[in-house]
A and B are shown apart, each in its own frame.
Chain A
Amino acid sequence: MLPHLLKQAAESVVESVPSRRGFLKAGGALVIGAALPLPAVAAGPAAGPRIVGPPDPRPQAFVRIAPDNSVTVLIKHLDKGQGTTTGLATIVAEELDADWAQMRADHAPADSKLYANHFFGLQGTGGSTAVANSWDELRMAGAAAKAMLVAAAAQRWSVPASEITVAKGVVAHAKSNRQASFGELAADAAKMPVPEKVELKKAASYTLIGDPKLHRIDHVSKTNGTAQFAMDVRRPGQLTAVLARPPLFGATVAKIDDAAARKVPGVVDVLQVPGGVAVLATHTWAAMKGREALSVTWDESKAEKRGTDQILAEYRDLSTKPGTSAARKGDAAKAFAGAAKVIEGTFTFPYLAHAPMEPLNATIQLTPDGGAEFWAGSQFQGVEQPAVAGVLGCKPEQVRINTLYAGGSFGRRATPSADYMVEAAHIAKAHAAKGGKAPIHLVWTREDDIRGGHYRPLFVHRIKAGLDKDGTIVAWEQTIVGQSFMAGTTFEPFVIRNGVDATSVEGAADMSYEVPNLHVDLHTTKVGVPTLWWRSVGHTHTAYAKEVMIDELAKAAGKDPVEFRLSMLKAHPRQQAVLKLAAEKAGWGRKPAEGRAMGVAVHASFGSVVAHVAEVSVDKAGKAKVHRVVCAIDCGRVVNPDVVKAQLEGGTGWGIGHAMRNAITLTAGKVDQANFDGFEPLRMSDMPAVEVHIVPSDARPSGVGEPGVPTAAPAVANAIFRATGTPVRDLPFTKGGLV
């Protein structure tokens, strides 16, 4: 998400993190202090962390050390499975020289001043930025906390601080044979001045960062049922709400008959709110039954009524016409005139739902000050606070958000409109207007999720490429057609330049392959289907179109797909190295097992590079099966190698599963799918063996959660192409009968 911002911020990241001195002063309190009886943080999701304020400098911004010897890192980035709590806790633990067993992680409260994502300028998680963003500030926080522990020990033992060592959570003075735990020193350490300067450890002395055996911090709570997700929040007296939303995007409520719904046992109220009709009940099942019994007549006069077949036909037509220029280098027309071979292809990509395992939900309690307290798997606090404040007529800081583990997101929980939080606020407001005081838990059903829009946009790419007599690409012309999910949002000024939404063309307009004549055009369409970033954003389609086309060109040129790519990546040594590593580990060039073919793809995204090699068979009936996938990544310095591997395994499955058989389609404006029966997810029997190899690097950490997605599907498609001779240009594969 927001890769353009990431790119913009990449160079200024050091500046955007406050200077060490300024940082430590401002965040002085980041340090220790947890031993103090400050009311700022009450542990546990039920009570939830709260902001009390406005103390400045605010205590406990990032690290709390308690008398029980626990070290808690406050995590400003939502952990939706990508391992952020583990990663950020590791960074602090390393500089603190803590023992991993004493580390804890809690999501930070909502506060864009204190917890802004430095790439976005507000609190939010996305764009695979969590580690890259926190790398500096959390190392400094850990180092400052350690310095204060050492200072406290030096004072207590009357010895020079320089003689004190810290290792595995023990502060020791060898000469006098004394030692103390962090917990024993916490109260005294909190009284020490915040150091003006801290020394960060050299990478060679890291013991936790880079340790492949370090366990995830959530690996126990997520295997015994105790991990708290937003869906599990149970506030005293809470009501569950489900919302009847229009069957067509853009339709509105015309008439409600709620007599039958109100008779369902457990249903407490039915409320019309912006966006639909809410049914409130004492438990979830009753709310669902109540909604089934509800009769709503919808005004569809302004609704989107096109089906996806029609939209696709319109896009195909547009793809043959010039659009707004996104990249223009050289003279493609002239180069095509002199080309020995020209290949042209149209690629189509469907709408896709995110469908995280935990459906969207949030609990809201209005507070006496006119604000509200939320419990949610909140991903975009800096957007949600002002959006909800707009509904309730309060200040953004009066919207307090307790962030809990999220059961997946893949981009869905972060929306520029704060959609589900705003819905919850409207329902709570309508409930309060009738004298209600209950906390409201808004729950989306799976049907709401699959039919709720905010999809990866439907895209069409038309690519025309020319080869000279030596098999070198001399011209590349690409026309991209699809909706912009940035247009009309607060992000538009940063993302849309000269009529081009950077997220629609990323990975295409800045194509890494060296092509002397490159033209990329964009048609931004207007369709009433809400769309959104989806794990790896524009790269979900640009990498596929590019990498599948490259294999067609390699074949036409009579060249090996890996060698062909390497020859055009001379200016990109990281991509070359990653591609070579994946090819070598996969046994590229050796004859694959009987009946199998290999395909390859490489792509740079979110500051990282990933290559995939897929081994696929296609049976006599034409059905493809993915057996083995080898991937390699360069993501800079690796904090948790096993988490990186897990993200690549998962990213591979995500890429392959959706390419195989997923599409959201519409007939006359109505979504055809409703649940996991129609939007059939990747399952165990679909999952290939996955090997992950990491390029060692001491560069700054870059993205991991998303970069594993873009190359997985084109590697599989290219293997199918090798097996069948037919390029796979239309997704999902079911369209070509391959699955």
Chain B
Amino acid sequence: MVKLTVNGRALEVDMPEDTPLLWALRDGLGMTGTKYGCGIAACGACTVHADGVATRSCQLPIGDAATMKITTIEGVAASGKIGKAVQAAWQEMDVVQCGYCQSGQIMSAVALVAENPNPNDADIDAAMDGNVCRCATYVRIRAAIKRAAQLARA
């Protein structure tokens, strides 16, 4: 049994310690909002926060995650003002198409705005380049991050 703290809850999962957090969340804990896209940290669909840092959960073994506070898409709105602002901006601007990558996009965006309350285009490129959207919703993601930053500052 590996103990994990996910969205403020203490949970246990019966999987080997080298299991990536992604699969512990999805298969062990039934939290399927965090997505599998590539398994090699090349697409960002599995992004969660580990102690507040945007992290590819496909690369984080649960043995290492045990001491960290994990936040997923399911808990990001409750995690604070920025999480709520990013989700609200995403909804306001109808960012989503297929939606499969958007959990990861939102988690990366929340981490960006938390660190940089007023990101410009270059900041957004740097922070978001690891998150792939095959529907190419990038135009709206960019606009929604700026809107979310505005909402979070208000």
Contact = CB atoms under 8 A, between A and B. Distances in A.
A637 interface: no
A646 B72 contact: no
B20 A285 contact: yes
Interface string B35-63: 11111101101000000000000000000
A215 B91 contact: yes
Interface string B134-150: 11111111100000000
B42 A225 contact: no
Interface string A444-472: 01100000000000000000000000000
B96 interface: yes
Which among B87, B91, B97, B98 has the highest number of chain A CB atoms within 10 Å?
B98
A265 B135 CA distance: 37
B42 A676 contact: yes
Contact of B36 (A224, A284, A405, A653): A284
A218 B38 contact: no
Contact of B40 (A216, A228, A676): A676
A226 B99 contact: no
Interface stretch (A140-148, A229-237, A492-500): A229-237
Contact of B94 (A215, A288, A408): A215
Given A224-B73, A225-B73, A81 B99 contact: yes
Contacts of B133: 357
Interface residues of B, number: 57
Contact of B97 (A81, A358, A359, A675): A81
Contacts, number: 176
B33 A225 contact: yes
B96 A216 contact: yes
Contacts of A357: 35, 37, 43, 45, 98, 100-101, 132-135
A269 interface: no
B27 A684 contact: no
A690 B23 contact: no
Contacts of A218: 96, 99
Given A283-B28, A446-B37, A646-B140, A219 B96 contact: yes
Interface string A431-449: 0000000000000011000
A223 B91 contact: yes
A736 B33 CA distance: 41
Q: How large is the interface on A (under 10, 10 to 19, 20 to 34, 35 or more residues)?
A: 35 or more
Contact of B134 (A223, A232, A405, A681): A681
Given A222-B102, A240-B27, A355 B134 contact: yes
A180 B16 CA distance: 58
Nearest to A226: B33
B131 A684 contact: yes
A689 interface: yes
Interface in A182-237: 215-216, 218-229, 231-232, 234
Given A215-B94, A285-B23, A231 B99 contact: no
B77 interface: yes
A407 interface: yes
Interface in B111-154: 124-125, 128-142
Interface of B: 15-16, 19-20, 23, 26-28, 30-40, 42-43, 45, 72-74, 77, 87, 90-91, 94-103, 106, 124-125, 128-142
26 contacts: A216-B96, A219-B90, A222-B96, A222-B99, A223-B106, A227-B99, A283-B28, A284-B26, A285-B15, A285-B19, A288-B39, A357-B133, A358-B35, A358-B37, A405-B98, A406-B98, A407-B99, A408-B97, A446-B40, A446-B43, A676-B38, A676-B43, A681-B43, A683-B132, A685-B129, A687-B142
Interface of A: 80-83, 215-216, 218-229, 231-232, 234, 240, 265, 283-285, 288, 355-359, 405-408, 410, 445-446, 642, 646, 649-654, 657, 675-677, 681-685, 687, 689-690
